[in-house]
Structure 1
Amino acid sequence: MTPFQDPAGVAVARSAPAPSSGTRVAGLGAHRPDTVIGNEQAAEAAGVEAQWIEQRVGIRTRRFASPTESVVSMAVAAGRAALEESGTPADEVDVVVLATCSMPSPMPSGAASVASGLGCTAAAGFDLNAACSGFNHALAVADALVRVGTARRVLVVASERMSDWVSPNDRDTGPIFADGAAAALVVASDRPGIFPVAWGSDGSRADLILISPDTRRMTMSGRKVFRWATSALMPVVEAACERAAIPVDKVKAFVPHQANLRIIDALSAAIGSPDLVTATDLTVAGNTCAASVPLGLHALRRDGRIHPGDPVLLFGFGAGLTYAAQVILNP
């Protein structure tokens, strides 16, 4: 794609993309902050025992961004890694979608800054906030954009700095949420590598997880969210597999939102595949909200636990309440 530069300095692509019969993930990238917070430190701040944290949610360590790391800078690092893995020049990206709920301000768009930081000179950029299912929502949007011919290449980045929005003294959120970013480049494909999304929302339960406009601090009704996730969400998993025409028990890997190890274990058991590989990045990375699903996928690939072409079920759920799942083929 050769961008056209008009006299006012606005870059646009000369030619329109063509529709595609399918899409695939061409590259993945991740950024994990260097600062590691163990349970002893988190427990002291929250007024609980370190063992209580691991028993309750399964987390042993989490990562916090440094003062110089922002939602945007982490997104740029993850996006650059995804482009490098795919061998794609930044100026060939048509759209950058930033999945986040932790920008410090609602304006300007974080995605526009990410595109600029990467050198995506002719890319549209917009933010998408579906909280912990944000990556799944953004991936579905990217798939649709490429399929209908609005874009050739879409960079989906999920980046969160949740440490800005939780109080270390709050036992329901402080020891749980963390920071990080991951990205996926979505491109056209002759055969489907990203299958139709199954998604929805339940705004009647929006008060279960929220950030108060007065305190700018997050609150969460953990027990109610746990009951909802373990009792109501399996039909979403089944619907995603049906839309991919892949039986649930034939999925090779499961990458759920990294919210709580007991939730992850319950959903994995319900899938019922004895050889299922399940992402448990939560134990070392904490709950990174929208970034948790792609970070979990990246960890499975990094560790060699899944192979090219394996069907992988991605599943996000969280504040809103929102939920979304889709099957992809591991790139």
Structure 2
Amino acid sequence: MTTQRTQPDLLYSEEEEALRAAVRDLLTDRCDAAGVIARTESDAPHDVALWKALATGMGLAGLLVPEALGGQGATHREVAVVLEELGRAVAPVPYLTSAVLATEALLACGTDDLLAELASGASIGALAVGLHTAPGAAFTTVRLENGTLHGELTGIADAAVADLLLVPADDGGLYAVTASAVTVTPQVALDLTRPLATVTLDGAPGRRLGAAEPAVRRALRAGAGLLASEQLGIAEGVLTETVRYLKERKQFNRPVGGFQALKHRLAQLWLEVVNLRAAARAAADALSTTQDADLAVAVAQAYAAPVAVHAAEEALQLHAGIGMTWEHPIHLSLKRAKADSIALGTAGAHRAALAELVDLQAP
């Protein structure tokens, strides 16, 4: 007897569109581009007030957490919608790191009390694995000596604002460590809205949660799949803004957007964004149903990074001189797109994973 596979519905439901509208309204009111740029120039790039509004006010930090633990009991599809809007606004909040990566790792370990803390927004979590790490790649661990943790981990996203760090150790365990027990040193990062840091542990006490390998793998896979939705939001956002700008800007007494060469460039971008939407939606749906999730995530990430970067680069060029200024927000989108292109595995790494999944040998 063969089991028929159901076809995924990649269209947005009414509930998902309502969620999008609510998140976009909040970001319109609380996350203007000038404010984000000003934060990147300060010592506090994270918008903690905005995070509280998202996590506590709207309950979005607990979308993946069961209702019994104070979460929303939603699916990856709803999380994907949130990430689209956060990507569009380049919002400086630790949503991907806390509500996705840390939450998925805790779900794998079955740690109910810590999940409840993250779901309520009372704590911000961070998985202490370099943001560049692909789902199938090796990750750095720290030493467990005499019951305490020792070592250094680099490239940890949003560690500066985290209350709880999930640290893999060389005994194969994943440990919960409070931020006050470690030293967090900022690293220079291209994307100033998602800061990276080095985390140093020198005899830090930790609580063993479970096996690190399956927890980290699950977290990185979900993170990579949902990152495609953030990249979709970036691409859609810059395309929409560029079309609006070209309709308003005039040259030779005509709107620039009416020139055929620019129309062709915008049409090509639109096609790429539409294809990215399908890939990102497929990944989110697969993660929510666990049907061919590895394959869908690899496809989405193999395609997402080049499209997001291309869209942001085209947007900057088509805004001409004003696009090159620090005051214009296009550079925020471009830097986030470039940083995302190596986050959770490069497009090349995901293409290699895809080839292995479908048993396609290299020439």
What TM-score does the superposition give when structure 2 sets the normalisation length? 0.24
Greater relative contact order (Cα < 8 A, sep 6+): 1
TM-score normalised by L of structure 1: 0.26
Greater strand content: 1
User: Which one has a larger percent helix, Structure 1 or Structure 2?
Assistant: 2
Higher alpha-carbon Rg = 2
